[in-house]
Structure 1
């Protein structure tokens, strides 16, 4: 599985293993791993839409600020000029693995065959004679 489409912060990203990308600030500590929602997995054969058995593991590398965006307001012939700026708060993440199976909860194995309860030894001796 060479790529996956994940959902983070209301946005969708196409990622592959080992890829680093900047996303909107996440509430996850630096160095921790998490699993985002997987929307599609593809690359080997037909793409799988909303797979239930595939996970994407992502590690938070660090936090940083985006480039400064300058915003200017101007009204002609009035002398009105205003400038402001904005820097987005971003988190850098690294995709560690794509395609790891989700661990299913351990279910106790119930035998399908019905077994008759064993008779007590005393009752078997009485039946023999």
Structure 2
């Protein structure tokens, strides 16, 4: 799908993947993702009205205020003058994906992780490793899971994980956990 028409706050918007737009205020926190209803999708030769299975994922970037509007009322010869102003409350959203997974997310995954086959774990209970020396499923670990799992890894796995973090993810908590696990293993 190259575009979709979605409904947000009673208004319709034509959106593309990666596009940012201002909509009426949504009661969501910054960084929250949501799936607005899809009214139409198209761009691959044919448009589909109310397509089943097409999901648009949007992320709230920030809450904002619109431009100030000045409203003046005046009636001649009566002394009646009134001035008021108005600023609309808006939400800036970014369209992350249309249809399936985001193209940006697919492009961000390293090519060697997609193609690297995993070897089977040994009978002794050692974790399965990928061809690059990383433990199996390393890219999917959260920092808390990584801290727990790093105590059971050997020096080669710790070094490979540290190199991966420095080159790709650069998560501060993961770097600190791996460095402390390496220093504990050395002592």
TM (normalized to structure 2)?
A: 0.53
Gaps in structure 1 of 5+ consecutive residues: 102-129
Q: Distance in 1 between matches of 2:30 and 2:51?
A: 28
Structure with bigger helix share is: 2
Q: After the TM superposition, which parts of structure 1 deviate over 3 Å for at least 4 consecutive aligned residues?
A: none
Q: CA deviation at 1:77?
A: 1.0
Distance 1:80 1:91 in 2: 36
**Residue 78 of structure 1: CA displacement?**
1.1
Q: Secondary structure at the match of 1:52?
A: coil
RMSD: 1.0
Which residue does the alignment assign to 2:67?
A: 67
SS at match of 2:46: strand
Q: CA deviation at 1:96?
A: 0.5
**Which residue of the partner structure matches residue 31 of structure 2?**
31
Query: Which residue does 2:55 correspond to in 1?
Result: 55
1:105 match: none
Secondary structure at 1:46 match in 2: coil
Q: How many residues in Structure 1 have an aligned counterpart in Structure 2?
A: 101
2:87 is the counterpart of 1:87: yes
TM-score by length of 1: 0.76
Q: Compare relative contact order (CA 8 Å, sep 6+) and give the higher one, 1 or 2.
A: 1
State the partner residue of 2:117: none
Task: Pick the structure with more strand per residue.
Answer: 1
Residue in 1 that maps onto 2:99? 99
Unaligned regions of 5+ residues in structure 2, if any?
A: 102-187
Q: Quote how far apart the aligned CAs of 1:40 are.
A: 0.2
Q: 1:8-19, aligned counterparts within 5 Å?
A: 8-19=8-19
2:21 is aligned to 21
